[in-house]
A and B are shown apart, each in its own frame.
Chain A
Amino acid sequence: QSALTQPPSASGSPGQSVTISCTGTNSDVGDYNYVSWYQQHPGKAPQVMIYEVTKRPSGVPDRFSGSKSGNTASLTVSGLQAEDEADYYCSSYAGSNNLIFGGGTKLTVL
């Protein structure tokens, strides 16, 4: 399976909203509701922000939300804060017992 497609970078000013896309195919994102999003600060372990497309783990601010339309999933960060600056990765179950990731998006808070 090929990796999911994410934009390499995204940016926004504090308080603004930014949306990061994650495009797959009808064999992964489009076929399963198992899209998740991970935040990774430099040198740190990834942290799940969204799982099963829209679910937010306890402790994750409600500024983070997920959605999916067809073969494209999206992560929206509202009310951007400085600490949101990080790399973000999407992943999807891809059938045949495989989990695939996107290439990652570097989010910059201007």
Chain B
Amino acid sequence: EVQLVESGGGLVKPGGSLRLSCAASGFTFSIYSMNWVRQAPGKGLEWVSSISGRSSFIYYADSVKDRFTISRDNDKKSLYLQMNSLRAEDTAVYFCARGPSGASRPLFLDFWGLGTLVTVSS
């Protein structure tokens, strides 16, 4: 059974940093692209970033470019999101989501975790 479990969310002050993690199980992690998607309270979904299976292709939404860094450790079957220079508008539930196997671009997301809440507030 595919499972994605996010962790690392919490309360952080504007300008601060946070690192999210996503532990994957139930599938061959290294061959799948992975993504972060966020959902602000009461709002819709927003794609944040994607990374291909071997980390060869990495992409970001304009809203987080130069502030967030996505990475993965295939040996640990884990996905990460380093978030720096956080703003109030980054407040959201952050979901880890699996993309298609072998994909280099963010095309669709076939399994999602339950998410972790990030709150940016003074």
Contacts and interface: CB of A to CB of B under 8 A. Distances in A.
Given A45-B113, A46-B95, A34 B108 contact: yes
Using C-beta atoms within 8 Å of the partner chain, give the interface range for chain A. 20 to 34
B66 to A, nearest CB: 16
Contacts of B105: 93, 97
A48 B110 contact: yes
Using C-beta atoms within 8 Å of the partner chain, give the interface range for chain B. 20 to 34
Contacts, number: 62
B47 A101 contact: yes
Main secondary structure of the interface of B (DSSP, over half): loop
A84 interface: no
B45 A104 contact: yes
A98 B63 CA distance: 12
A91 interface: yes
B50 interface: yes
Given A3-B44, A104-B45, A45 B115 contact: yes
Interface of B: 35, 44-47, 50, 57, 59, 61, 95, 97, 105-115
13 contacts: A3-B44, A36-B108, A36-B109, A44-B114, A46-B45, A51-B108, A51-B110, A97-B106, A98-B59, A99-B50, A101-B44, A104-B44, A104-B45
Given A46-B45, A57-B110, A99-B35, 5 more contacts: A3-B44, A36-B109, A46-B97, A48-B109, A52-B107
